[in-house]
Amino acid sequence: MSWFTKTFSSTIGRKLVVALTGLFLCSFLVVHLIGNLQLFSADEGIAFNAYTYFMTHNPVIRAMEIILLLGFVFHIYEAYALSRRNQGARSVKYAVNHLDQNSSWSSRNMGLLGTVIFIFLLVHLYNFYFKLKFGEIGLDAQGNKNLYAITEEAFSQWWYVALYVISMVALAFHLIHGFQSAFQTLGLNHKKYTPAIKAVGYVFSIVVCAGFAAMPLYFFFFK
Ligand code: HEM
Protein backbone atom coordinates (compact mmCIF):
# COMPACT_ATOMS: atom_id res chain seq x y z
CA MET A 1 0.00 0.00 0.00
CA SER A 2 1.44 3.42 -0.90
CA TRP A 3 1.82 6.10 1.80
CA PHE A 4 -1.05 7.98 0.13
CA THR A 5 -3.52 5.06 0.35
CA LYS A 6 -2.28 4.27 3.88
CA THR A 7 -2.78 7.85 5.09
CA PHE A 8 -6.24 8.20 3.59
CA SER A 9 -7.51 4.88 4.86
CA SER A 10 -6.27 5.47 8.43
CA THR A 11 -8.73 6.86 10.99
CA ILE A 12 -6.91 10.18 11.33
CA GLY A 13 -6.51 10.48 7.55
CA ARG A 14 -10.22 9.88 7.03
CA LYS A 15 -11.09 12.37 9.79
CA LEU A 16 -8.89 14.99 8.15
CA VAL A 17 -10.55 14.48 4.78
CA VAL A 18 -14.04 14.75 6.36
CA ALA A 19 -13.01 17.93 8.24
CA LEU A 20 -11.37 19.68 5.27
CA THR A 21 -14.07 18.75 2.74
CA GLY A 22 -16.74 19.72 5.33
CA LEU A 23 -15.25 23.21 5.74
CA PHE A 24 -14.95 23.53 1.96
CA LEU A 25 -18.63 22.59 1.57
CA CYS A 26 -19.49 25.24 4.21
CA SER A 27 -17.81 27.87 2.00
CA PHE A 28 -19.91 26.62 -0.95
CA LEU A 29 -23.07 27.06 1.15
CA VAL A 30 -22.19 30.70 1.86
CA VAL A 31 -21.61 31.49 -1.85
CA HIS A 32 -24.76 29.56 -2.87
CA LEU A 33 -26.88 31.35 -0.25
CA ILE A 34 -25.64 34.81 -1.26
CA GLY A 35 -26.28 34.08 -4.96
CA ASN A 36 -29.77 32.74 -4.27
CA LEU A 37 -30.72 35.83 -2.25
CA GLN A 38 -31.56 37.33 -5.66
CA LEU A 39 -34.76 35.29 -5.49
CA PHE A 40 -36.00 38.00 -3.11
CA SER A 41 -35.43 40.89 -5.54
CA ALA A 42 -38.59 42.44 -6.95
CA ASP A 43 -37.77 41.97 -10.67
CA GLU A 44 -39.64 38.69 -11.23
CA GLY A 45 -36.42 36.71 -11.55
CA ILE A 46 -34.43 38.77 -14.08
CA ALA A 47 -31.38 39.09 -11.78
CA PHE A 48 -31.71 35.48 -10.56
CA ASN A 49 -31.88 34.08 -14.10
CA ALA A 50 -28.88 36.19 -15.18
CA TYR A 51 -26.99 34.85 -12.14
CA THR A 52 -27.82 31.20 -12.95
CA TYR A 53 -26.76 31.82 -16.58
CA PHE A 54 -23.41 33.11 -15.27
CA MET A 55 -23.05 30.10 -12.93
CA THR A 56 -23.56 27.61 -15.75
CA HIS A 57 -21.42 29.37 -18.38
CA ASN A 58 -18.41 30.80 -16.56
CA PRO A 59 -15.37 28.48 -17.12
CA VAL A 60 -13.95 29.10 -13.62
CA ILE A 61 -17.29 28.19 -12.01
CA ARG A 62 -17.54 25.10 -14.20
CA ALA A 63 -14.08 23.97 -13.05
CA MET A 64 -15.13 24.64 -9.44
CA GLU A 65 -18.15 22.36 -10.00
CA ILE A 66 -15.80 19.39 -10.45
CA ILE A 67 -13.97 20.27 -7.22
CA LEU A 68 -17.35 20.64 -5.51
CA LEU A 69 -18.48 17.23 -6.74
CA LEU A 70 -15.20 15.68 -5.49
CA GLY A 71 -15.73 17.49 -2.16
CA PHE A 72 -19.17 15.89 -1.76
CA VAL A 73 -17.96 12.43 -2.85
CA PHE A 74 -14.95 12.36 -0.49
CA HIS A 75 -16.92 13.86 2.41
CA ILE A 76 -19.71 11.28 2.13
CA TYR A 77 -17.48 8.28 1.38
CA GLU A 78 -14.92 8.94 4.14
CA ALA A 79 -17.59 9.79 6.74
CA TYR A 80 -19.41 6.54 5.88
CA ALA A 81 -16.15 4.53 6.11
CA LEU A 82 -15.40 6.13 9.51
CA SER A 83 -18.81 5.31 10.94
CA ARG A 84 -18.55 1.69 9.67
CA ARG A 85 -15.16 1.39 11.35
CA ASN A 86 -16.46 2.86 14.62
CA GLN A 87 -19.39 0.43 14.67
CA GLY A 88 -17.12 -2.53 13.89
CA ALA A 89 -14.45 -1.54 16.44
CA ARG A 90 -16.64 -2.41 19.43
CA SER A 91 -18.20 -5.84 19.00
CA VAL A 92 -19.06 -6.04 22.74
CA LYS A 93 -21.23 -3.16 23.83
CA TYR A 94 -20.48 -1.18 27.03
CA ALA A 95 -22.49 -2.53 30.00
CA VAL A 96 -23.32 1.04 31.05
CA ASN A 97 -23.31 3.62 28.34
CA HIS A 98 -24.70 7.07 29.13
CA LEU A 99 -24.21 8.29 25.58
CA ASP A 100 -27.08 10.76 25.95
CA GLN A 101 -25.17 12.45 28.77
CA ASN A 102 -21.72 12.26 27.20
CA SER A 103 -22.52 13.51 23.71
CA SER A 104 -25.01 15.70 21.86
CA TRP A 105 -27.94 14.30 19.88
CA SER A 106 -26.51 15.62 16.61
CA SER A 107 -23.07 14.07 17.20
CA ARG A 108 -24.73 10.65 17.65
CA ASN A 109 -26.92 11.07 14.56
CA MET A 110 -24.54 12.57 12.00
CA GLY A 111 -25.13 9.56 9.69
CA LEU A 112 -28.92 9.94 9.84
CA LEU A 113 -28.70 13.72 9.33
CA GLY A 114 -26.25 13.21 6.46
CA THR A 115 -28.65 10.73 4.81
CA VAL A 116 -31.55 13.25 4.98
CA ILE A 117 -29.27 15.89 3.39
CA PHE A 118 -28.16 13.42 0.71
CA ILE A 119 -31.78 12.63 -0.26
CA PHE A 120 -32.50 16.39 -0.28
CA LEU A 121 -29.50 16.93 -2.59
CA LEU A 122 -30.72 14.31 -5.10
CA VAL A 123 -34.19 15.92 -5.30
CA HIS A 124 -32.66 19.41 -5.39
CA LEU A 125 -30.14 18.68 -8.14
CA TYR A 126 -32.76 16.94 -10.25
CA ASN A 127 -35.18 19.88 -10.06
CA PHE A 128 -32.72 22.75 -10.32
CA TYR A 129 -29.37 21.72 -11.70
CA PHE A 130 -30.35 19.05 -14.25
CA LYS A 131 -33.43 20.94 -15.50
CA LEU A 132 -31.25 24.02 -15.98
CA LYS A 133 -28.52 22.12 -17.80
CA PHE A 134 -30.46 19.57 -19.81
CA GLY A 135 -34.19 20.44 -19.56
CA GLU A 136 -36.50 22.40 -21.83
CA ILE A 137 -37.04 25.65 -19.96
CA GLY A 138 -38.83 28.79 -21.20
CA LEU A 139 -36.86 32.05 -21.53
CA ASP A 140 -37.36 35.30 -19.59
CA ALA A 141 -37.53 38.86 -21.03
CA GLN A 142 -33.70 38.96 -21.25
CA GLY A 143 -33.48 35.64 -23.12
CA ASN A 144 -32.09 33.69 -20.13
CA LYS A 145 -33.49 30.31 -19.09
CA ASN A 146 -36.31 31.10 -16.68
CA LEU A 147 -35.23 29.09 -13.65
CA TYR A 148 -37.12 31.58 -11.49
CA ALA A 149 -40.38 30.18 -12.92
CA ILE A 150 -39.23 26.62 -12.08
CA THR A 151 -38.43 27.77 -8.53
CA GLU A 152 -41.83 29.48 -8.22
CA GLU A 153 -43.61 26.34 -9.42
CA ALA A 154 -41.63 24.00 -7.13
CA PHE A 155 -42.19 26.16 -4.05
CA SER A 156 -45.93 26.50 -4.67
CA GLN A 157 -46.33 22.86 -3.54
CA TRP A 158 -46.61 22.34 0.21
CA TRP A 159 -44.77 18.99 0.23
CA TYR A 160 -41.83 20.50 -1.62
CA VAL A 161 -41.67 23.37 0.88
CA ALA A 162 -41.92 20.86 3.76
CA LEU A 163 -39.06 18.78 2.28
CA TYR A 164 -36.85 21.87 2.07
CA VAL A 165 -37.66 23.14 5.55
CA ILE A 166 -37.18 19.71 7.19
CA SER A 167 -33.91 19.24 5.27
CA MET A 168 -32.65 22.65 6.40
CA VAL A 169 -33.38 21.70 10.04
CA ALA A 170 -31.35 18.49 9.48
CA LEU A 171 -28.59 20.52 7.79
CA ALA A 172 -28.50 22.95 10.74
CA PHE A 173 -28.01 20.11 13.26
CA HIS A 174 -25.43 18.48 10.96
CA LEU A 175 -23.47 21.75 10.68
CA ILE A 176 -23.69 22.63 14.39
CA HIS A 177 -21.83 19.45 15.28
CA GLY A 178 -19.72 19.24 12.10
CA PHE A 179 -18.32 22.78 12.32
CA GLN A 180 -16.79 22.44 15.78
CA SER A 181 -15.81 18.83 15.18
CA ALA A 182 -13.82 19.86 12.06
CA PHE A 183 -11.79 22.38 14.06
CA GLN A 184 -11.19 19.78 16.76
CA THR A 185 -9.86 17.33 14.13
CA LEU A 186 -7.56 20.06 12.81
CA GLY A 187 -6.10 20.36 16.32
CA LEU A 188 -7.85 23.55 17.39
CA ASN A 189 -9.01 22.27 20.75
CA HIS A 190 -8.29 24.82 23.44
CA LYS A 191 -10.03 25.94 26.65
CA LYS A 192 -9.95 29.51 25.39
CA TYR A 193 -10.90 29.07 21.71
CA THR A 194 -13.26 26.07 21.68
CA PRO A 195 -16.27 27.97 23.16
CA ALA A 196 -15.76 30.74 20.55
CA ILE A 197 -15.56 28.17 17.70
CA LYS A 198 -18.74 26.51 19.02
CA ALA A 199 -20.53 29.88 19.13
CA VAL A 200 -19.44 30.79 15.58
CA GLY A 201 -20.58 27.31 14.45
CA TYR A 202 -24.04 27.83 16.01
CA VAL A 203 -24.52 31.26 14.45
CA PHE A 204 -23.19 30.09 11.05
CA SER A 205 -25.42 27.00 10.96
CA ILE A 206 -28.57 28.84 12.01
CA VAL A 207 -28.09 31.87 9.73
CA VAL A 208 -27.24 29.75 6.65
CA CYS A 209 -30.03 27.20 7.14
CA ALA A 210 -32.64 29.82 8.08
CA GLY A 211 -31.63 31.76 4.94
CA PHE A 212 -32.17 28.71 2.70
CA ALA A 213 -35.42 27.74 4.47
CA ALA A 214 -36.74 31.32 4.05
CA MET A 215 -36.73 30.89 0.22
CA PRO A 216 -39.41 28.18 -0.14
CA LEU A 217 -41.42 29.77 2.70
CA TYR A 218 -41.29 33.18 0.98
CA PHE A 219 -42.55 31.73 -2.33
CA PHE A 220 -45.27 29.65 -0.67
CA PHE A 221 -46.69 32.39 1.52
CA PHE A 222 -45.93 35.65 -0.30
CA LYS A 223 -45.88 34.92 -4.05
C1 HEM B 1 -33.97 26.99 -0.95
C2 HEM B 1 -32.74 26.96 -1.12
C3 HEM B 1 -32.01 26.70 -2.41
C4 HEM B 1 -32.29 27.15 -3.68
C5 HEM B 1 -33.42 28.07 -4.13
C6 HEM B 1 -31.25 26.63 -4.55
C7 HEM B 1 -31.17 26.85 -5.92
C8 HEM B 1 -30.23 26.29 -6.76
C9 HEM B 1 -30.08 26.58 -8.17
C10 HEM B 1 -30.94 27.58 -8.93
C11 HEM B 1 -29.07 25.83 -8.66
C12 HEM B 1 -28.53 25.77 -10.12
C13 HEM B 1 -27.76 27.02 -10.48
C14 HEM B 1 -26.55 27.21 -9.64
O15 HEM B 1 -25.60 26.45 -9.80
O16 HEM B 1 -26.57 28.12 -8.81
C17 HEM B 1 -28.55 25.05 -7.57
C18 HEM B 1 -27.48 24.17 -7.65
C19 HEM B 1 -26.97 23.48 -6.59
N20 HEM B 1 -27.41 23.50 -5.28
FE21 HEM B 1 -28.90 24.66 -4.56
N22 HEM B 1 -30.39 25.85 -3.80
C23 HEM B 1 -30.83 25.85 -2.49
C24 HEM B 1 -30.27 25.20 -1.41
C25 HEM B 1 -29.20 24.31 -1.49
C26 HEM B 1 -28.59 23.62 -0.38
C27 HEM B 1 -29.02 23.76 1.07
C28 HEM B 1 -27.58 22.84 -0.88
C29 HEM B 1 -26.63 21.92 -0.17
C30 HEM B 1 -26.88 21.29 0.94
C31 HEM B 1 -27.55 23.06 -2.32
C32 HEM B 1 -26.68 22.44 -3.18
C33 HEM B 1 -26.59 22.68 -4.53
C34 HEM B 1 -25.60 22.08 -5.40
C35 HEM B 1 -24.51 21.10 -4.97
C36 HEM B 1 -25.82 22.59 -6.68
C37 HEM B 1 -25.04 22.26 -7.98
C38 HEM B 1 -23.69 22.89 -7.97
C39 HEM B 1 -23.61 24.24 -8.59
O40 HEM B 1 -23.53 24.31 -9.79
O41 HEM B 1 -23.61 25.28 -7.87
N42 HEM B 1 -28.54 23.96 -2.65
N43 HEM B 1 -29.28 25.34 -6.42
- State in Å: Cα 32 to ligand 1 middle: 6
- State in Å: Cα 167 to ligand 1 middle: 13
How far apart are alpha carbons 161 and 23 in whole angstroms? 27
Task: Name the residue with the closest Cα to ligand 1, atom 18.
Answer: 129
Domain assignment present for 98: no
Q: How many domains does the chain have?
A: 1
Ligand 1 pocket member 209 (CB < 6 A)? no
Domain assignment present for 101: no
Among the listed residues 123, 212, 112, the one whose alpha carbon sits nearest the alpha carbon of residue 170: 112
Per-residue pLDDT tens digits for 72-103: 999 999 999 998 877 766 555 555 556 566 67
Residue 120 lies in domain = 3-89+107-222
Mean pLDDT of 13-17: 95
Which CATH number is 59's domain given? 1.20.1300
Domain assignment present for 156: yes
Domain assignment present for 11: yes
- State in Å: Cα 124 to ligand 1 middle: 7
pTM of the model: 0.91
Atom number of ligand 1 nearest to Cα 215: 1
Domain assignment present for 102: no
Position 190 confidence tier, pLDDT thresholds 50, 70, 90: confident
Answer whether 79's CB lies under 8 Å from 17's CB: no
